[in-house]
Amino acid sequence: MAQIRKNDRVKVIAGKEQGKEGRVLKVYVEKGSALVERVNFVKRHTRPGGKGSQQGGIIEKEGPLKLSKLMLVCPKCSKPSRTGRRVLDDGSRVRYCKKCGEQIDS
Ligand SMILES: [Zn+2]
């Protein structure tokens, strides 16, 4: 189970995008990377007549960031924090914030 999941709020802790925060749009588990909303924009060239585009040009899109450079921002205490795992009475596993101890997943 990945530490970081889609729709989590994360902070970039290393690299040129360090300090930025955003929502996780997609996690590529096998690649160990994720797309974070409005972070790490990369320019992509598109061709005229290509799929879904009428005109060619340059579009900016989020590029993947290594999961190791991201840290979850706790929704309860709003601090970047490591997460732990907890097993509930019904057997389901949830993540919790190691800073404030609050459960992150519902
Ligand atoms: Zn917390």
Counts of helices then strands in the chain (DSSP H, E): 0, 9
pTM: 0.82
Say how far apart CA 38 and CA 77 lie, in whole Å. 23
Q: How many CA atoms lie within 13 A of 102 on its CB side?
A: 11
Q: Is the pLDDT of residue 40 over 80?
A: yes
Q: pLDDT band at 87, cuts 50/70/90?
A: very high
In this predicted structure, what is the pLDDT of residue 1? 45
What separation in Å is there between the alpha carbon of 53 and the centre of ligand 1? 43
Name the region of 91 (left: φ>0; alpha: ψ -120 to 50; beta: rest): left
Closest CA to 12 of 54, 67, 52, 57: 67
Percent of the chain with pLDDT over 70: 92
What separation in Å is there between the alpha carbon of 30 and the centre of ligand 1? 27
Q: Could you name the CATH architecture of 1-48+59-73?
A: Roll (2.30)
In this predicted structure, what is the pLDDT of residue 2? 56
What separation in Å is there between the alpha carbon of 104 and the centre of ligand 1? 8
Boundaries of every domain in the chain = 1-48+59-73, 77-106
List the shell of residues around ion ligand 1, using CB closer than 5 Å.
74, 76-77, 97, 99-100
Q: Is the pLDDT of residue 53 over 60?
A: no
Overall average pLDDT of the 80-90 stretch: 94
